[in-house]
Structure 1
Amino acid sequence: MRLDGRAAAGGERMLTLKRFANPDVTRAFTNIAWLGLERLTQIGVAIVISGMLARYFGPDTFGKWQYANTLLLVLSPITWVCGAEILVPTIVNRPPEQLGTVLGSAFALRFSVSVLALLLTWLGIALHFFDPLVGAMLAGLAVTMLFREPFVGVINAWLQSMTYSKPQLLTSMSTALIKAGLVYLLVRATAAPARFGWLWALESAAIGAVLVAYFMRRHGGTLGWRLDRLLFRHFANAGTVFWLGLICMYLFLKLDRLMLERAISFADLGRYSAAQQLNENWITLALMLAQTIAPAFVYRVQGIAQLRRNMWRLTAMTAVLMVAGALVLDLLAGVIIRRVFGPDFEGAIEIFRWAVWLSVPAGIEAIGNLVVLKYQAKFVLLSKWLLALVVAFAVNLLAIPRLGAYGALVGLAAGYLAAASVNLYYIRFKLRP
């Protein structure tokens, strides 16, 4: 019996070692580590750059810079047609000799949509739809749409299909650090605010060029992308519901700044945006946590009872984590705002103290969304973010005229709660005993 027990224990250890020695598992963990490092680098660089620009621009011009970025983030999802949830499985399920056709068709679709989005943006700027300085800043920022999805997005989907995102992540980290250095040089040279947007365009072009060169090196020095009209039409139709859902989600996330621009000065909008940018970086950490734990605790779990237990535990853990983090950030709000943005942004301190508590419903929503993604419930995703958008818009209409920037926080909270409620309803329906 003792020998049998030792043999069994040894067998279990061998299985464990084999599991960790599995190249697919090793590759997945390595990919997650690189993803985490890249996200942390991007968050750090974003905070440093925002601090430099806030001190250089001052609240009014910084508010216009943040508004231009908000417009870009609202416009960018238009170029996300044929998302990774469609493109990556297509790459995996097609034979390797069809890779050029798959990537070429996806590139043609994304590039044509991106060119159209860029031209419409420039037309809006030319027709003076925006404040002149906002338009000048947006003119450069909008060029990123021409490179991000057609070049970076397509090649990144190919890398994801191999569970090997290191080239893209390493390139992204390197260019982010270089961009921070160039921002510093432009600040020291007292460059005009409109010129800074072109740094973001240069960054996206550099990432695209490096990834294209890497792809060509892996494929005998040629790109080999070809357009297939049937596949082009398939990509244009498939994933449309997910695409619309993502557009609604990003419009909801930036609706507060879009509506505040009509109600408060650009200086106050700059202070509000400064607080929200720090808060959004904190919320991003919750999303990173959700993405990291999703494969093991949600996507690969088949038993309904086990999945239901995992969801309640993950939700409780996330709530505790976000409450603890929000409490710390609330207490340190003054130190953080003054250190990052300087004395001209004192008005952002109280906004930041309230904004950090949005991380609690945002984190809970992110965990609940994992079940929606697991079962590819695209109409639930669309309905959820459409409801959140409508609720936030209605609350903003009532609250912003009365409460100003704090009214926008109330609108965001209401939208997050509406989205989390849809998740809860779907989880109870899908995972009922």
Structure 2
Amino acid sequence: MLNKFATLTQKLSPGLRQIMANTAWLFSEKILQLSVGLLVGVWVARYLGPEKFGLFNYAMTFVALFAPLSNLGLDTIVVRDIARDPACKAETLGTAFTLKLMGGIVTLSLAVGTISLLNPSEKLLPWLTGVVAIGTIFQAFDTIDLWFRSQIQSKYTIFAKNSAYIFIALVRVALIQTRAPLIAFAWARAAEIALGAVALVIVYRNNGHHIQAWRSSIKRAKSLLQQSWPLLVAGFTTFIYSKIDQVMLGTLLTDKAELGFYSVAVKLSELFDFIPMMLSVSFLPKLAEIKRRSEADYQKSFQIYFDIMFFLWLVVAIPVSLLSSHIVNFMYGPYYANSASILSIYVWAQFGSNFGVARSAFLVIEGKQKFSLYISVIGALINITINLFLIPTAGAVGATIATLITYFMVTVLINFLVTDLRPIALYIFRSFNLYKSALRLLSLGR
């Protein structure tokens, strides 16, 4: 069996083998994190109960609302630029690091200030939010990961981040055993990102690179921000149409247990979100390279990319939807039984994640990031409007339906209405032909 697999991989092009190897490393990382994260995450949810778990997720979601400021939409731009011209490494990485560090400080300030104004009677919430938001400052060191991504060498950052992840997972178990308060779990969250940053620096140095060699440039900062600002604004609006439901549930409903039920369903539904993101990390630099060589090969490669995303959606959505009640009961217990009906609907919205990630890669390579902004703004307006009507009457189920409708409109329908997005519409349309999609995927091994 192994010999056959080795023979098959030798038939593939060197570029595709490189993508497969990098993807395999990323996949192994996520399998490890899923295994540990599921066990410990479920244990934490059971320990905290629906109300405290809902409160904790409200704080984390609120930080995520401002998190685009800590990233500034720079990641794909930096990876693309270094993949095209490795000589710009020092200036690009140094400038990106400085911008991310400043963005993290702004994120912390805005998150704590805003949640204090919206929830003046909640004394614990600002502390929870502030501690979680500290992690966004340390995320500036994820700039190191961008270098390894640009070289399709993600295996080096896997060791760094997994070491921190596993250690903090053990810390969370200890917190449960010692009956620690809710705020302790927020500190564990921040500590995980901080330790991951330290580990990234060590791995970077061990591979012969030095952060001291980085240099910041105002000129380069302006150039990066001019290209990334649509992605930054899109990050805000994308959050609004994909995650604002959790913020609105926590704000509009006094019963935080409802948010706890919803959070469990969302977490279970998004367990496999790492797969499209992982593929994007490997495909983006390679697709950019293919475009320089051959437009025909570029078009074929993108169609296969969308075919893969389509099949991944079906493989996840069908079994999870059918087995939702058994999954929730087995993992979270009877206290979270209300999450099952939410999960059975919400999981179908994952096509938005799969096709959305693929479309984002297309827009970045084609230099059409502005459409990410337009799409996100439209999606945000649609989602907020629908949620305002459905959450007060249907609670978490209403938020789920709003997400499904919004994703269909901004991930699928809009591509058929905008001329510049028609190539994406064709990719999606062709992917829905199961027979031809399967043939295209099978042809990769020939």
Q: What TM-score do the two structures reach when normalised by structure 1?
A: 0.84
Aligned positions of 1:383-398 closer than 5 A: 383-398=374-389
Q: Distance in 2 between matches of 1:422 and 1:226?
A: 41
Equivalent residue for 2:105, pick from 103, 115, 118: 115
What is aligned with 1:267?
Answer: 257
Q: Specify the structure having the higher radius of gyration (Cα).
A: 1
Aligned positions of 1:229-248 closer than 5 A: 229-248=218-237
Aligned positions of 1:361-380 closer than 5 A: 361-380=352-371
* SS of alignment partner, residue 404 of structure 1: helix
What is aligned with 1:224?
Answer: 213
Aligned positions of 1:127-276 closer than 5 A: 129=119, 131-148=122-139, 150-152=140-142, 154-219=143-208, 223-264=212-253, 265-276=255-266
Q: Work out whether residues 248 and 389 of structure 1, in 8 Å CA contact, stay in contact via their aligned partners in 2.
A: yes
Structure 1 114/269 Cα, relative in aligned 2: closer, same or farther at 3 Å? same
Q: Distance in 1 between matches of 2:107 and 2:335?
A: 36
Deviates more, 1:71-80 or 1:187-196: 71-80
Q: Distance in 2 between matches of 1:221 and 1:367?
A: 33
Deviations 1:48-74 (A, max 9, x none): 233112111111111101111111222
Aligned partner letter, 2:325 = G
What is aligned with 1:49?
Answer: 40
Q: Work out whether residues 105 and 232 of structure 1, in 8 Å CA contact, stay in contact via their aligned partners in 2.
A: yes
What is aligned with 1:8?
Answer: none
Q: What TM-score do the two structures reach when normalised by structure 2?
A: 0.81
What is aligned with 1:423?
Answer: 415
Structure 1 253/82 Cα, relative in aligned 2: closer, same or farther at 3 Å? closer
What is aligned with 2:267?
Answer: 277
Deviations 1:400-431 (A, max 9, x none): 22222111112111210121222344442688
* SS of alignment partner, residue 67 of structure 2: helix
What is aligned with 1:87?
Answer: 78
Shift of 1:285: 3.5
Q: Distance in 2 between matches of 1:406 and 1:75?
A: 25
CA RMSD between the two structures:
3.2
Shift of 1:187: 0.4
What is aligned with 1:413?
Answer: 404
Deviates more, 1:380-389 or 1:278-287: 278-287
> Which structure 1 segments of 5+ residues have no match?
1-13
Q: Work out whether residues 368 and 423 of structure 1, in 8 Å CA contact, stay in contact via their aligned partners in 2.
A: no
Shift of 1:184: 0.5
Aligned partner letter, 2:69 = I
Deviations 1:315-369 (A, max 9, x none): 5665455345323112322221122212211111111122222224544444455
Aligned partner letter, 2:193 = S
Q: Work out whether residues 319 and 364 of structure 1, in 8 Å CA contact, stay in contact via their aligned partners in 2.
A: yes
Equivalent residue for 1:69, pick from 46, 60, 73: 60
Aligned partner letter, 2:141 = F
Structure 1 25/323 Cα, relative in aligned 2: closer, same or farther at 3 Å? closer
Q: Distance in 2 between matches of 1:308 and 1:162?
A: 23
Aligned partner letter, 2:385 = A
Deviates more, 1:242-251 or 1:319-328: 319-328
Structure 1 163/319 Cα, relative in aligned 2: closer, same or farther at 3 Å? closer
> Which structure 2 segments of 5+ residues have no match?
1-6, 427-446
Q: Distance in 1 between matches of 2:111 and 2:161?
A: 25
Identity of aligned residues (%): 22
Q: Work out whether residues 315 and 367 of structure 1, in 8 Å CA contact, stay in contact via their aligned partners in 2.
A: yes
Q: Work out whether residues 216 and 223 of structure 1, in 8 Å CA contact, stay in contact via their aligned partners in 2.
A: no
Q: Distance in 2 between matches of 1:225 and 1:295?
A: 22
Shift of 1:183: 0.5
Deviations 1:187-215 (A, max 9, x none): 00011111111112111111111222333
Q: How many residues in Structure 1 have an aligned counterpart in Structure 2?
A: 412
Aligned partner letter, 1:205 = A
Q: Work out whether residues 138 and 193 of structure 2, in 8 Å CA contact, stay in contact via their aligned partners in 1.
A: yes
